[in-house]
Amino acid sequence: MFTKKVQKIFRGVVYARSSEQPHIHLFSAKDFEGLNQESFDVESSLGHTLKGYFYYYENPIKNKLIVFEHGMFGGHRSYMREIEMLAKHGYLVYAYDHTGCMESGGSGTGGFAQSLRDSNEVISKLKEIEKLHGYDIYVMGHSWGGFATLNVSRFHPDIKKIVAISGFVSPKKIIYQHLGGHLRIFAKKIYKGEVSLNPDYMEISALDTLANMTGEALIIHSPNDNVVSYKKHFLLLQKTFKDKKNISFLTVPNTKHNPNYTEEAVKEKDRLFSEVKIAQKKNELSSPEACEAFKNRFDWYKITEQNEDVWARIFQFLDK
């Protein structure tokens, strides 16, 4: 009985739809002069639409496409600074909202494995676009999207390069990580329940996928990540694949779950969410006007400021 209650709480968090929050500013293509946006949607095998867009500046690099995989509790516009960085460097980028997120359909996210299922189906559809025939496909993702990025070559072995930021190795490892301590006794049953809902993807692990990957990988993480354990995911991969020439690793200190951000941006993001909790507790975000006033208190470019050194390493990897 108690296991079912824990499972209900677990699914209530992990499966919840991610919608745009009126007190949080999300950038869009309109915020970046000259950034083009073209819609391209994918029909999921589950019966809903995955809403996505191509982003690019004038004359993007020929024959290369980067597919961007966003994290849980957000959508692709939560990563517009990253997407714009890639486009500004010259890449054609396709970014979309996963199942149950923002503009895409679905009553919920479908759990930890759904990002990989979506990624597999999206890339399959992108390969059908005639004007993209002959393009090398790169994949970049963060957290939930990082899991998809680490594992999508299992379905698409022709993927040339992946950049996984703060990604988890497998649904099993992230479930066991967060159901530790006195909840450990429930982890096994909850995991088995998740496998029964998504058997084709839940048991997939980057430990197996990367062992067979022929493309190249850059894996990035911060030691003080408080969402995806550095030790249980990044260090495990680094130890396992230390001799695999096509996989490289980058540790970025003091940046928690966003190693492509500056340290100051991470501090500002923490301050933002601390103030969100206070405002919600005081019922200060109950109207559109109040939410707009709250947003205007923050410098959103500063909150999402990108680490130029990390991006130099990413571009060095992508460009070579």
At residue 223, the pLDDT reads: 98
The β-bridge partners of 261 are 306
As to burial, measured by CB atoms within 10 angstroms (0-12 exposed, 13-18 middle, 19+ buried), residue 131 is: exposed
Residue 278, both tokens:
């206070």
Model confidence at 182: pLDDT above 80: no
Segment 153-178 mean pLDDT: 97
Is the domain spanning 2-261+304-319 CATH 3.40.50.1820? The answer is yes
pLDDT of residue 186: 85
Domain parsing of the chain, residue ranges? 2-261+304-319
pLDDT confidence of 4, banded at 50, 70, 90?
confident
DSSP-assigned states of every residue in 170-191? -HHHHHHHHS-GGGHHHHHHHH
Whole-prediction pTM value? 0.96
In Å, how far are 109, 177, 203, 232, 244 from 87, measured between CA atoms?
27, 35, 34, 32, 30
**Per-residue b/e over 136-167, b at no fewer than 16 CB within 10 Å?**
ebbbbbbbbbbbbbbbbbbbbeebbbbbbbbb
Backbone φ, ψ for residue 242 (5° rounding): -60, -25
- Helix (H), strand (E) at residue 93: strand 92-96
Among the residues of 205-287, which ranges form H helices?
206-212, 236-240, 263-281
pLDDT band at residue 1, thresholds of 50, 70 and 90?
low
> SS3 string of 198-220?
CCCCCCCCHHHHHHHCCCEEEEE
Mean pLDDT of 249-274: 98
pLDDT greater at residue 197 or residue 216: 216
pLDDT in tens, 237-251: 999 999 999 999 999
> For 293-319, what is the mean pLDDT?
97
